[in-house]
Amino acid sequence: MNKNSFQLTESFAMELDKADVLNKYRDEFYLQPNSIYMDGNSLGLISKRAEKTLLESIEDWKTLGIDGWLEGKHPWFYLSERLGSLTAPLVGALTEEVIVTGSTTVNLHQLVATFYQPKGKRTKILADELNFPSDIYALQSQLKLKGYDPNEHLVRVESRDGRLIEEDDIIAAMSDEIALIILPTVLYRSGQLLDMERLTKEAHDRGILIGFDGCHSVGAIPHELSKWGVDFAYWCNYKYLNSGPGGVASLYVNKKHFNQVPGLTGWFGSSKDKQFDMEHIFTPAEHAGAFQIGTPHVFSTAPLLGSLEIFTEATIDKVREKSLYSTAYMMYLMESELAGLGFEIGNPRDDVRRGGHVCLEHKEAARICKALKANGVIPDFRSPNIIRLAPIALYNTYHDVWKVIQILKRIMNDKEYEKFENKRGVVA
């Protein structure tokens, strides 16, 4: 598809939809009438297949009781490993390097407790000032547990413009005092995609371990974690992977670290054949499963089975291709239709630096988001001035993109947004 051939007409958007090979998956999702959902980068929609695998697991409980751990449609005892193997192709990992477990922040605590090993002058953790707050809270907590002052030992790379983090600045901060690096794959506000391969190489050249938060990239962007030599990664599954609110998260550990005893041990990290021996000696699994802590939340895990089935069919490469094209189309329409209305695009324009959403900035962003919702468009607000819009490859159409910009244009021209307070809700 040629981005230079974009047109402003509604018929052009509809022609794009006719040629879209992923358009058939739209019917797989529960879409509400008279509504355009553009918040899939925060919480993805439920698919019929995800609903099916959840109901099948509930049926296993109804009919089998405790025997559901080893019998039934989706035996619970091996569910996390099975899902890890289905997820591995999305992140470019070996089957045994991925496990579905815990929550994003719990998994970060686990990984930092394991891989943060301060020694000599290497006592500091390197992060960035634009990272999601939960990651920073966890890093501060882990430093305190090791007896270090986060104000001194948590180094945060500064942004030059409040939107982006330059890889050169990250590399410049990789001093001989850094023991561990934690970075997002995609910045949650601006949608900037970091060069994970380059950063991993630079970290390893300096003897530093590096891990990534993939919450805003997994399911939207292909990864090659094993090929790049990334030490570890962690991510949620309820955004682009559509596993449901609070769905169980995932982690990746490079196989070269399988001999590392997890910093936080629990019985579900045991070798499967030893778990029910009930010994007081921990025998870890010989793969990423060792980094599990407690019993999996089966009903928050089961929907991911159906969701990943769709990704296996659609392929992450096709998802990325459409995502890039639809966000480029959205930016083209914004620049053409919203000119002079006070908007500014805050995300990178280059494909290699852009994640799965568009970051649209406006001083009246909070009330504009409320006006969009009143007109059937579901956006995402980030304080103080960001409207995040995510055309999701599996269920949003190009016609959706076109209609959203037309609605936004009307809201601004008619000053509909002035009816609302420029203040975020409890959940933005």
With respect to residue 330, please indicate whether it lies within any of the assigned structural domains.
yes
Same domain, yes or no, for 225 and 346?
A: no
Residue 158 φ/ψ, nearest 5 degrees = -85, 150
What whole-number distance in Å separates Cα of residue 329 and Cα of residue 354?
A: 13
Q: Are residues 181 and 221 in the same domain?
A: yes
Question: Is residue 1 pLDDT above 80, yes or no?
Answer: no
Q: Does some domain include residue 200?
A: yes
Domain that holds residue 278: 52-312
Largest CA distance in the chain: 70
Q: Which of 285, 312, 339 is a domain's end point?
A: 312
CB 76 within 8 A of CB 298: yes
Give a yes or no: residue 421 inside a domain: no
Output the average pLDDT for the chain.
97
Residues 93 and 204 in one domain: yes
- Averaged over 124-130, what is the pLDDT? 98
Q: In what order do the strands lie in the sheet with 344-345?
A: 344-345, 358-361, 386-389, 380-382
Residue linked to tokens 């089961």: 302
Cis status of the peptide bond prior to 384, with omega within 30 of 0: yes
Please report, for the domain that includes residue 135, its CATH number.
3.40.640.10
We report the CATH number of the domain holding residue 25 as 3.90.1150.10
Is 396 inside any structural domain?
yes
The separation between the first and the last C-alpha atoms of the chain, rounded to the nearest angstrom, is 35
Please check whether residues 231 and 349 belong to one and the same domain: no
User: In this structure, are 11 and 157 located in the same domain?
Assistant: no
274 shares a domain with 132: yes
pLDDT of residue 348: 97
Q: Which residues are annotated binding-site positions?
A: 104-105, 132-135, 213, 216, 238, 267, 295
Same domain, 279 and 325: no
Residue 385, domain member (yes or no): yes
Instruction: Write phi, then psi, for 358 (nearest 5 degrees).
Output: -105, 135
Partnered with residue 358 across adjacent β-strands are 389
Please spell the DSSP secondary structure of 250-287, one letter per residue. EEEE-GGGTTSPPSS--GGGB-TTTGGG--SS--B-SS
Residues 89 and 166 both lie in one domain: yes
Which residues are part of a known binding site for pyridoxal 5'-phosphate?
A: 104-105, 132-135, 213, 216, 238, 267, 295
Q: Is 34 helix (H, G, I), strand (E, B) or coil?
A: coil
pTM of the model: 0.96
Do 223 and 139 reside in the same domain of the chain? yes
pLDDT band at 203 (very low <50, low <70, confident <90, very high): very high
Say if CB 91 and CB 217 are below 8 A apart. no
Report the number of distinct structural domains present in the chain: 2
3-state secondary structure of 128: strand
Residue 302 in tokens: 């089961």
- The pLDDT score that the predictor gives to residue 428 is 67
Average pLDDT of the segment spanning 95-100: 98
Point out the domain boundary residue: 247, 280, 312: 312
Residues 180 and 131 in one domain: yes
Q: What is the pLDDT of residues 39-87, one digit of tens each?
A: 999 999 999 999 999 999 999 999 999 999 999 999 999 999 999 999 9
The model's confidence at residue 4, banded by pLDDT at 50, 70 and 90, is confident
How confident is the model at residue 229, as a pLDDT? 98
Q: Give the C-alpha separation, 269 to 343, whole Å.
A: 49
Give yes or no: residues 332 and 184 share one domain. no
Residues 325 and 217 in one domain: no
Which residue's entry shows tokens 């891989």? Answer: 115
| pLDDT over 80 (residue 156) | yes
Cβ neighbour number for residue 29 with a 10 Å cutoff: 21
pLDDT digits (tens, 9 = 90+) for 286-319: 999 999 999 999 999 999 999 999 999 999 999 9
- Helix extents (H) in 73-132: 79-91, 104-115
CB 179 within 8 A of CB 337: no
43 lies in some domain? no
Over residues 332-351, the mean pLDDT reads: 98
pLDDT (0 to 100) of residue 288: 98
Query: Is residue 238 pLDDT above 80, yes or no?
Result: yes
Q: How confident is the model at residue 174 (pLDDT cuts 50, 70, 90)?
A: very high
